[in-house]
Amino acid sequence: MSDPLLSVRDLTTRFRTERGTVTAVDRVSFDVEAGETLAIVGESGSGKSVTAMSILRLIPTPPGRIESGEIMFDGQDLLKLSDAGIRAVRGDRIAMIFQEPMSSLNPAITIGRQVAEPINLHRGTPWGKAIGMARDLLAKVHIPDAESRVSAYPHQFSGGMRQRAMIAMALACNPQLIIADEPTTALDVTVQAQILDLLKELAGGTRSALILITHDLGVVARYADRVVVMYGGRVVESAPATELYARPRHPYTRGLMASVPKVDGDTNQRLVPIEGQPPDLAALPPGCAFAPRCRHATERCASERPELRDIGARHRVACLFDL
């Protein structure tokens, strides 16, 4: 079997704050195969976005720092690259789509020039030709009248069109890996589906791997091949999407599933919330981070940290018990 396109091993990222050191990503490990769509799920503060930012070494230093681990991408350890080396990877071989395009797009530069920039920067394509390629990319992501829209500014685009422009920018250099961090957060439900369908379609067309960061389990069910569940900065379960939905094994994953409304005609169905509060990342317990909220927890859970272990083909769980 060939090596994965991306292999993250024991990644730890911390931030120094007034309250102490926050461990936002705590010994996280996972793989992404070429052409695969991997969803990273979990509630706010679980470490999903910091994991993505760590992969591209976009952690602001200070106050943040990638303290340890290995990020192997196509045979290279991204953590050992020079600043110039990682800049050559960003936007070329790995592209990222952020949550809010208005904070990622430059309001003073036309959409066409921003989409063309990675083509000019990484491919050395002259600006005139790069702008023409940007126009074709805008048409590819279904922006109407791309011929004139290439000269428009971000404020002249709707939220959905700005996100499409971000996808065009991400695809500009035919990356091997696309990281989409909550790409539909600010969009209405109809536009969300259109954007995700488009992203999956275009990534599939170029055989790009896709990391989809989300808290929406409905999105995971429809678009992901495999799922990594994070809690308190740690991976608590990973499995193929179909298997995870058929038989979630970690109590937190089961809690997430139980808290999602199901469209099955049962109007009397009650949602089951996860009691308690997410953990304080500046004061993580020595044992399982989920133990204070888990109805199966024992004294052992409070003192012994569970490691990820294999429980089936490509299914791993970090729990001390077989549930």
Give the least confident one: 64-68, 188-192, 259-263.
Answer: 259-263
**Beta partners for residue 238, in sequence order:** 228, 316
- The pLDDT confidence band at residue 206, using thresholds 50, 70 and 90, is confident
Q: What pLDDT, on the 0 to 100 scale, is given for residue 50?
A: 95
Structure tokens at 212: 């989809």
Domain boundaries of the chain, sorted by first residue: 101-172
Q: How far apart are CA 211 and CA 236, in angstroms?
A: 17
Summarised one tens digit per residue, pLDDT across range 117-126 is 999 999 999 9
Question: Pick from 68, 70, 122, 69: which is nearest to 95 by CA?
Answer: 122
Q: What pLDDT, on the 0 to 100 scale, is given for residue 152?
A: 94
> Is residue 67 over pLDDT 70?
yes
* Angle subtended at Cα 14 by Cα 10 and Cα 16, rounded to the nearest 5 degrees: 165
Contacts of residue 289, Cβ cutoff 8 Å, sequence gap at least 6: 231, 232, 233, 234, 279
Q: How far apart are CA 59 and CA 53, in angstroms?
A: 6
> Is residue 263 over pLDDT 70?
no
> Is residue 130 over pLDDT 90?
yes
Q: How far apart are CA 213 and CA 14, in angstroms?
A: 20
> Is residue 78 over pLDDT 90?
yes
Summarised one tens digit per residue, pLDDT across range 278-316 is 888 988 889 999 999 998 999 999 999 999 999 988 899
> Is residue 205 over pLDDT 60?
yes
Average the pLDDT over 76-104 and give the result: 90
- The pLDDT confidence band at residue 45, using thresholds 50, 70 and 90, is confident
Q: How far apart are CA 76 and CA 37, in angstroms?
A: 21
What is the residue-averaged pLDDT of the chain?
90
Summarised one tens digit per residue, pLDDT across range 234-250 is 999 999 999 999 999 99
> Is residue 16 over pLDDT 80?
yes
Please, where are the H alpha helices in 32-141?
A: 48-55, 83-89, 101-104, 111-123, 127-140
Q: Report which of residues 238 and 193 the model is more confident about.
A: 238
> Is residue 2 over pLDDT 90?
no
Average the pLDDT over 228-237 and give the result: 96
Q: Report which of residues 101 and 310 the model is more confident about.
A: 310
Q: What pLDDT, on the 0 to 100 scale, is given for residue 266?
A: 58
Q: What pLDDT, on the 0 to 100 scale, is given for residue 265?
A: 54
Structure tokens at 65: 């720092």
Q: What pLDDT, on the 0 to 100 scale, is given for residue 227?
A: 96
Q: What pLDDT, on the 0 to 100 scale, is given for residue 113?
A: 95
**Beta partners for residue 90, in sequence order:** 94
Burial of 5 per CB tally in 10 Å (0-12, 13-18, 19+): buried
> Is residue 270 over pLDDT 80?
no
Q: Are 168 and 138 in contact (CB under 8 A)?
A: yes
Whole-number Cα distances in Å, 237 to 11, 229, 292, 304: 16, 5, 18, 17
In the 8-state DSSP scheme, what is residue 79? Answer: G
- The pLDDT confidence band at residue 102, using thresholds 50, 70 and 90, is confident
Q: What pLDDT, on the 0 to 100 scale, is given for residue 262?
A: 66
Q: Are 186 and 135 in contact (CB under 8 A)?
A: no
> Is residue 186 over pLDDT 80?
no
Q: How far apart are CA 134 and CA 138, in angstroms?
A: 6
> Is residue 166 over pLDDT 70?
yes
Q: What pLDDT, on the 0 to 100 scale, is given for residue 273?
A: 77
Average the pLDDT over 80-96 and give the result: 94
Give the least confident one: 88-102, 132-146, 226-240, 297-311.
Answer: 88-102
